[in-house]
Structure 1
Amino acid sequence: MKVWIAGATGVLGHRLVDRFTDRGHQVVGLARDSDGAERIECHGGTARRGDVLDADSLEAAIDDDVDVLIHAATAIPDSTKPSDEEWERNDRIRLEGMKNLLDGAPDGVRQVLFPSVVWLARQPDGSTFDETAERHPDRATESAARVEDLLRERATAAGFDVSILRCGFFYAPDTRDTREWGRRLVDGDLPIVGGGILGRQDAELSFVHADDAAAAFVAAVESDASGVYHVVGDEPVTGAEFFKSFADLLDEPEPSRIPAWLARFFVGSVAARLLTSPMPTTNEKAKRELDWDPAYPTYREGLKQVVETWESDGTLAEFRGETVADSAAPGRAETA
């Protein structure tokens, strides 16, 4: 099968290139520059130059014999307190980018996949929800909701299948957030953000290891899936427990706490709300219909893999300001 991927150089995208090529599929990835093209080809794919916001560039970039189209490109703001302009760029890449991709796609495309987010459908009362729950979009998820709606509309007219994989909060050794969390835990300045006046109210969150998210996309393609699926670990976990476990694996002290009303002045209201608004959901439908099982079913296995990877590749030593030799010296407990 020929799989065409926008966002093929990102955290999810390069894993998609790896996994689809490993399964024998032909993979084409969109790259905006030569560095991106080289990365795609290093992971086994064929690179095409273009930009999802430049419709003309997609005419030559999307082959006529593409079977599957995946729009995994984003521009999630990386500043501490993102501006409206930063969020608007992400909105454009999600929505305008998807429109351009659909307009440029050949008639023979059989399936289109989109990585949405589970917190789009979290419930105001904090209860557990599934794929049938009413959506409650906010500033960060409004564009994801609009892309979901667009795909349903275009699929009816064009006759292709749509797979919307709503993912939990990504974590992995190479994700921006995970690396920042690890660095700050080592430095002792990553607080647990909680609800309430004193920050003692913990919200259950749904995480997924990026490797498992990529595996779910492969499973959705190979099973010709159509519909909405929640791609998360086997159990939700509070942010407090997640970061306590992370600190323990890093052999660092338990993080302190900070209330969300105070945290928003430092990390912004979107991030503060994300960490304190419950989003407990289930992966039962994805496991049942996609024949998908996460390699890291809970945060415990996933965080262990993160720390082991950092120990072996020198990242943890870098966080601690050590040389590789120093990192193996006595006094640092093994966390494997």
Structure 2
Amino acid sequence: MTVFVTGATGVFGRRIVDELTDRNRTVVGLSRDADGDAAVRDSGGVPVRGDVLDQDGLRSAADAAGDRSGEAVDAVIHAATRLPPAERTTAEYWERNDEVRREGARNLVAALGDDVDRFVFPSVVWVARQPDGSCFDETAERHPDRATRSAAEVEDFLADAAADHGFDPLILRTGFFYGPDDHTTRSFAENLRSGDLPIVGGGILGRKDAELSMLHVDDAGCAVAAAVDAGVTGLYHVVDDEPVTVADYLRTFAYLLDAPEPSRVPWWLARPFAGKDAVRFMTSPMPTSSEKFRADVGWEPDYPTYREGLEQVVEAWRADGTLAELRGDEDADTGTRTNAVENTV
């Protein structure tokens, strides 16, 4: 099997390429420059130059993919995004991400849709979170907002395009990513260390905590590869074993970082400086599970809860010097804290 991956040079995409090549799949990764070429090669893939917003360029990239791999492309994974920074976002940032998701999918289908068997799109579970905060599954009605509107549009587009082009769509709605090389995770750590990341709660007094469904980015890459290997199609939620409140997640992360315990503020007080998108995300519950995905694919996360996942993040940072940089010292050792994390919440 030969798999064509967009977003192959990103934090998520590199893991997809790495996991697929470990499973003896030929992976062609879309790249825009020499650094991207190197990133794809380092993950075990074959780089081809192109841009998801350039349909003609994608056709050339698809031809090059066949030439370089010696095989026709069997599946496409559209993992490319242009997510806004972790800091306060604007409508312009979301429009750029929407364009990459939406127009990228259209261009990929136009360039490759008639020739591939499967089209995989990593979406997000919070596109279907419920207004009352209740637990939901793959059958739940969607409620997209500005941040998830394009994800819903791509889901719908692929369902319609599949009938016209003859491929099988696979939608994998993932939980909220975190990991040692994830920009948002690093931003959270920096702001926790400086005391600038409060717990934003719902309700007038800010005492209502939203449960979020999380997923370590290593587990996300493994899940995509496992789904491709299993040959499944349709819609699945892919999250870890335990939804976590924003309060517990940030307090645990702060503890592991030896940072001050974050303060608590109500949503209406945080909105002017954090922005409505971030506040809505932090205060809108999205509890779901991977029960269906596990049953059909046999996937299990290496980091079943945020506790194990955050321990891995901090351990990785301790090993590569990031933790010392965050703490402002030359020799950071968090071994005793990582072993005691389960007692913190």
Same fold (TM over 0.5): yes
Counterpart in 2 of 1:335?
Answer: 338
In the superposition, the TM-score normalised over structure 2's length comes to: 0.93
Distance 2:302 2:19 in 1: 14
Distance 2:232 2:86 in 1: 36
Q: Secondary structure at the residue paired with 1:265?
A: helix
Counterpart in 1 of 2:31?
Answer: 31
Select 2:227's aligned residue among 220, 224, 234. 220
What is the letter of the counterpart of residue 248 of structure 2?
Answer: E
Select 1:243's aligned residue among 250, 274, 285. 250
1:164 pairs with 2:167: no
Counterpart in 1 of 2:121?
Answer: 114
User: C-alpha displacement at 1:259, in angstroms?
Assistant: 1.3
Q: Secondary structure at the residue paired with 2:338?
A: coil
Q: Secondary structure at the residue paired with 2:273?
A: helix
Q: Secondary structure at the residue paired with 2:248?
A: helix
- The answer on whether the counterparts of 1:251 and 1:333 sit within 8 Å (CA) in structure 2 is no
Residue-by-residue CA offset, 1:5-57 (whole Å, 9 max, x unaligned): 00001111000111111111111100111111111111111111111001111
Q: Secondary structure at the residue paired with 2:135?
A: coil
- The answer on whether the counterparts of 2:86 and 2:187 sit within 8 Å (CA) in structure 1 is no
Residue-by-residue CA offset, 1:122-148 (whole Å, 9 max, x unaligned): 001110000000000111111000000
Counterpart in 2 of 1:18?
Answer: 18
Gaps of 5+ in 2: 67-71, 340-345
How do 1:124-135 residues align onto structure 2 when only pairs under 5 Å count? 124-135=131-142
Residue-by-residue CA offset, 1:95-131 (whole Å, 9 max, x unaligned): 0010001111063311110110000000011100000
- The answer on whether the counterparts of 2:31 and 2:48 sit within 8 Å (CA) in structure 1 is yes
- The answer on whether the counterparts of 2:86 and 2:183 sit within 8 Å (CA) in structure 1 is no
1:310 pairs with 2:317: yes
Counterpart in 2 of 1:321?
Answer: 328
Q: Secondary structure at the residue paired with 2:189?
A: helix
How many matched pairs? 332
Q: Secondary structure at the residue paired with 2:304?
A: coil
What is the letter of the counterpart of residue 32 of structure 2?
Answer: R
In the superposition, the TM-score normalised over structure 1's length comes to: 0.95
Distance 1:238 1:16 in 2: 28
Counterpart in 1 of 2:301?
Answer: 294
What is the letter of the counterpart of residue 30 of structure 2?
Answer: L
Decide whether aligned partners of structure 1 residues 44 and 203 sit closer, same or farther in structure 2, where only a CA change above 3 A counts.
Answer: same
Gaps of 5+ in 1: none
How do 1:127-206 residues align onto structure 2 when only pairs under 5 Å count? 127-206=134-213
Q: Secondary structure at the residue paired with 1:335?
A: helix
User: C-alpha displacement at 1:86, in angstroms?
Assistant: 1.5
Q: Secondary structure at the residue paired with 1:174?
A: coil
**Deviation beyond 6 Å, 4+ runs, structure 1:** none
Structure 1 vs Structure 2 CA RMSD: 1.5
- The answer on whether the counterparts of 1:11 and 1:174 sit within 8 Å (CA) in structure 2 is yes
Distance 1:298 1:333 in 2: 19
Identity of aligned residues (%): 58
How do 1:226-237 residues align onto structure 2 when only pairs under 5 Å count? 226-237=233-244
- The answer on whether the counterparts of 1:247 and 1:253 sit within 8 Å (CA) in structure 2 is yes
